[in-house]
Amino acid sequence: MARELQKIIVMGLGYIGLPTASMLATKGHQVLGVDVNAQAVDIINSGRIHIVEPDLDILVKSAVNSGNLKASLTTEEGDTFILAVPTPFKEVDGNPKAPDLAYIETATRAIAPYLREDNLVILESTSPVGTTERVQEIIVAMRPELAGKIHTAHCPERVLPGQILRELVDNDRIIGGTTKAAVAKAKALYKTFCNGAILETDSRTAEMSKLVENSFRDVNIAFANELSVICDHLGINVWEAIALANRHPRVNILQPGPGVGGHCIAVDPWFIVASAPAQSRLIRTAREVNDAKPDWVIAKVKAKAARFHEPVIGCLGLSFKANIDDLRESPSMDIVHHLHQSGIGKIMACDPNVRKEKAPFALYDLKTVIKEADILLLLVDHEEFKDIDPQVIKDKVVIDTKGVLR
């Protein structure tokens, strides 16, 4: 069967929308990417990118040069509409971690006037259970004549920042439709660029599966973080204990760290908790364990610093995880920020992946930090830190939250 080329509107040109729009455009679809950020729209239309992700610049350039990808502040008519906008928190009835669907609702209202019979609307944003049905409700409320004639589906993004382009193609894809026809249409579209298996279900199960994936990871990181605190208390090397336990054929413990950052793992479990608070005891506790880890690290640094008069504290790493430059929701940033404000000594932060102008405080190069620090606090397992010679730091107090300087 000949591949059907479509006109596709992608709402939101961030870490998910832009790679998806560019991928579809390079497969021959006519793609209009819509974003509220005028600067991002201009940058993309000139074939460049406004975010950092390996090889995305090459993909966007080729999509724009092919004439198949255009960015705009406003939408148009099309065959398929993809919503890839953020789902942050808002406070509801005293709960500060309730999901905020405002971006999804605004994007849905923006496309509703342009929808035609038989169009497909895909929600890719990570969303609480029932959001795809809510998208459909908004559309039908605005366009009653389209009731039963519009297809909606949830096809959650599952890509890992730093490996987005590879995972966009290779990962299996969940397609949760509100109808069988919606599933069939979405399946045909994703098959144009997805090599992974296409897994069919209903929209509510798809929404839950995505939240479950990130909650699974959060609970498992919380287990590792709790072990790190227990082992510290008992004077045991947690990295060695985990490595040994992981040699059991059915044990696979994740790695402790300074806390859980990024925009997904630390957010999505709260969407489950908000929808079933009494039933989500483990998921909530895991979030609390991970959120408490930065304070534990700060207390540890303060205890060590108390032995010095005006200590120099070298902080290695600021990003939310290894080998990226993304500082948003980074526990390392919070820790360094707090240490700066606490006035316990001179703080010298270093991150080889972060441009100096991006940090709100002075950044130093690795050699200078290692030379001058009394206390070395390792916060991110960047490749560059793995080469630090143990001999060079043997006289320093080392607090290693990622087990790199063993």
Which residues of this protein are in contact with ligand SAJ, per CB under 6 A?
Answer: 126, 157-161, 213-214, 217, 221, 254-255, 257, 260-262, 264-265, 320-321
Distance CA 107, CA 122 (A): 12
Nearer Cβ to ligand SAJ (77/213): 213
**Least distance in Å: CB of 176 to ligand SAJ?**
16
> CB of 211 within 8 A of CB of 176?
no
Cα(201)–Cα(153) distance, integer angstroms: 10
Please tell me the distance from the alpha carbon of residue 224 to that of residue 74, in angstroms, as a whole number. 46
- Closer CB to ligand SAJ, residue 149 or residue 328? 328
90 is catalytic: no
Q: Which is nearer to ligand SAJ, 327 or 344 (CB)?
A: 327
Dihedral of alpha carbons 114, 117, 119, 125, sign? positive
Question: What are the distances in angstroms from CA 40 to CA 18, 31, 43, 172?
Answer: 10, 16, 5, 29
CB of 273 to ligand SAJ, least distance (A): 16
Contact 228, 403 (CB under 8 A): no
Based on CB atoms, which residue is closest to ligand SAJ, 157 or 200? 157
Q: Tell me whether residue 57 or residue 334 sits nearer to ligand SAJ (CB atom).
A: 334
Q: How far is the CB of 114 from ligand SAJ (least distance, A)?
A: 27
Provide, rounded to whole angstroms, the least separation between the CB of residue 77 and ligand SAJ: 29
Considering the candidates 264, 304, 350, 402, report the single residue annotated as catalytic: 264
Contacts 24+ apart (CB under 8 A), 307-311: 307/397, 308/345, 308/374, 308/375, 310/345, 310/346, 311/344, 311/345, 311/346, 311/374, 311/375
Question: CA–CA separation, 270 vs 265, rounded Å?
Answer: 9
Element of type H or E holding 349: strand 346-350
The catalytic position among 70, 185, 187, 210 is 210
Closer CB to ligand SAJ, 223 or 361, in the complex: 223
Give me the least distance between CB of 85 and ligand SAJ, in Å please.
Answer: 13
Residue with tokens 């760290």: 257
Site of tokens 């398929």: 80
Q: Give least dist CB 93 to ligand SAJ, A.
A: 26
Q: For the CB of residue 239, give the shortest distance to ligand SAJ in the complex, in Å.
A: 12
3-state SS class at 269: helix
Q: For residues 324 and 350, which CB has a smaller minimum distance to ligand SAJ in the complex?
A: 324
DSSP string over 115-176: --TT-EEEE-S---TTHHHHHHHHHHHH-GGGTTT-EEEE----PPTTSHHHHHHHS-EEEE
| Residue 264 bears catalytic tag | yes
Q: Which of 126, 290, 127, 283 is nearest to 215 (CA)?
A: 283
**Residue 246, number of CB atoms within 10 A of its CB:** 12
3-class SS of residue 370: helix
- Report the catalytic residues: 210, 264
